[in-house]
Amino acid sequence: MKNLVVLTGAGVSAESGIATFRDAGGLWEGHDIMEVASPEGYAANPSLVLDFYNKRRAQLKEVSPNEAHFCIAGLERNYNVNIITQNVDDLHERAGSSKVIHLHGELKKARSSKNALEIQECDGDINLGDKSADGSQLRPHIVWFGEEVPEMDRAIEIVSKADVLLIVGTSMQVYPAAGLKDYAPSHAPIYFVDPAPALDSSGRLTVIKEKAGKGVQMVVDLLSF
């Protein structure tokens, strides 16, 4: 089976009702992104940041995967599919996708404040005083701005073996994730689905200016010819 790599951003979950980041004028649910997504923001106001992610985690119980997540999951019938997502939600998994790498972490996990690799499952709230196994304060397992992206090497290896690359719903503004497409082998066609795409079609890159639900289905139709 051919290797299909899917790189997703906030736009793939937009039709599930989860707000994207930059479409809301740089605010994330009313917060400056550096206030809630940087080590400095966390140091300045840990309880605000914990509460912010507690709300995002609770929101997961209110939302469901959309057509795009299901369509991507269905590609496993014909391809060896690897998803590399920048999203911290679990909608790809809930749609049935089996191989998902979360570049920026996962809401449903918590980690030690001292060691990014000391990770545990987390279904409820994280509060000040909750401790990891190493005795440090538990924090969300989210890669904040300025922090290392531990899954990056694995992601590069996967993209470098792609026969087809599908990119969905990302502003292509945040590195190193935005640079991943450059690792796709030269024989691999690249499809990019986004209603306000940051790139234009050229060479092997085909841009489909549609929302994820419709656009991913269009790519599936193109691939089946």
Enumerate residues 127-186 that contact ligand APR by CB under 6 A.
169-171, 173-174
105 belongs to the binding site for ligand APR (CB under 6 A): no
Is 96 in a helix, a strand, or coil? coil
39 belongs to the binding site for ligand APR (CB under 6 A): no
218 belongs to the binding site for ligand APR (CB under 6 A): no
Q: Which stretch binds ligand APR (CB under 6 A): 19-27, 56-64, 91-99, 121-129?
A: 19-27
Distances (CA, A) of 35 to 31, 98, 149, 198: 7, 33, 19, 25
Site for ligand APR (CB under 6 A): how many residues? 22
Task: Decide the pairing of beta strands 164-168 and 205-208.
Answer: unpaired
Q: Which stretch binds ligand APR (CB under 6 A): 10-18, 43-51, 69-77, 180-188?
A: 10-18
User: Of residues 52, 126, 194, 219, which one binds ligand APR by CB under 6 A?
Assistant: 194
Instruction: Tell me whether residue 104 is one of the annotated catalytic residues.
Output: yes
Q: Please tell me the distance from the alpha carbon of residue 187 to that of residue 33, in angstroms, as a whole number.
A: 37
| CA nearest neighbour of 160 among 77, 59, 84 | 84
Phi-psi bin for 162: left (phi > 0), alpha (psi -120 to 50), beta? beta
Query: Which helix or strand (DSSP H or E) is residue 18 part of?
Result: none
Residues marked as catalytic? 104
Q: Rule CB under 6 A: which residues touch ligand APR?
A: 9-11, 14-15, 20-23, 33, 86, 104, 169-171, 173-174, 194-196, 211-212
